[in-house]
């Protein structure tokens, strides 16, 4: 009798694990990335929050967007909203420095306090798996897209799913983005 009960609990545990894995397979929650200081950052800790993921660069004409990103982060971080920056050197070598160089730059010039991750690739043969999810409809369920340039924004809902891709030239404090954050 005990073996049957144990077997049932074991089977239910496997089923629950499989369902959880299935639910996370097309969300950002399946990923763990390194932050700018080399510590692991589990994106599953963002469950229940709206998230804006942004690929950043220090030597780009759009770099001043750090200022607006920081403003909306400060204004809405207590309302279940998060901004996360992913430095990337995929466009005209505009993010050539080390993680330490990048951290010094954005802290010194823009006072950034939102989480910044370690430099990754957002395009090409070495594209990070998170950006594969963000850019491939077969993985995100929404649309195929290509990272056009630095400061492209990906809006993620409270369930960890991609809901909108925002052009790099659209400012982070654009009314359409602010309305999404508040909705």
pLDDT over 70 (residue 2): no
- Mean of pLDDT values over 165-172: 98
Q: What is the pLDDT of residue 62?
A: 98
Which tokens hold the place of 142? Answer: 């929404």
Judged against a pLDDT cut of 90, whether residue 71 lies above it is answered with: yes
- pTM, whole model, 2 decimals? 0.87
Q: pLDDT tens, 96-140?
A: 999 999 999 999 999 999 999 999 999 999 999 999 999 999 999
Structure tokens at 94: 């505009």
Radius of gyration of the chain (CA): 18
Catalytic residues: 60
Predicted confidence at residue 18, as pLDDT, reads 41
pLDDT in tens, 9-59: 554 544 444 444 444 579 999 999 999 999 999 999 999 999 999 999 999
List of E strands, 4-63: 32-34, 40-42, 50-56
DSSP tag of 36: T
Rounded CA-CA distance 97/162 in Å is 29
Q: What pLDDT is stored for residue 82 in this prediction? A: 98
For the chain, domains (ranges, CATH) are 2-182 (3.40.30.10)
78-99 pLDDT tens trace: 999 999 999 999 999 999 999 9
Quote the CA–CA distance of 127 and 141 in Å, as a whole number: 19
pLDDT band at 154 (very low <50, low <70, confident <90, very high): very high
């Amino acid at each position: 009798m005990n073996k049957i009960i144990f077997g049932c609990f074991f089977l239910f545990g496997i089923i629950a694990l499989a369902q959880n894995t299935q639910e996370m397979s097309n969300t950002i929650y399946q990923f763990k990335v390194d932050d700018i200081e080399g510590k692991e950052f589990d994106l599953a800790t963002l469950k229940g929050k709206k998230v804006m993921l942004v690929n950043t660069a220090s030597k780009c004409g759009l770099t001043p967007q750090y200022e607006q990103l920081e403003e909306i982060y400060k204004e809405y971080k207590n309302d279940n909203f998060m901004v996360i920056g992913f430095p990337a050197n995929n466009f005209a070598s505009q993010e050539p420095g080390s993680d330490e160089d990048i951290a010094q730059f954005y802290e010194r010039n823009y006072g950034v306090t939102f989480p910044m991750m370690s430099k990754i690739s957002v395009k090409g043969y070495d594209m990070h798996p998170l950006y594969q999810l963000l850019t491939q409809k077969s993985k995100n369920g929404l649309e195929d897209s290509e990272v056009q340039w630095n400061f492209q924004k990906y809006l993620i809902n409270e369930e960890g799913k991609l809901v909108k891709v925002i052009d790099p030239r659209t400012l982070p404090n654009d009314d359409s983005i602010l309305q999404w954050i508040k909705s």
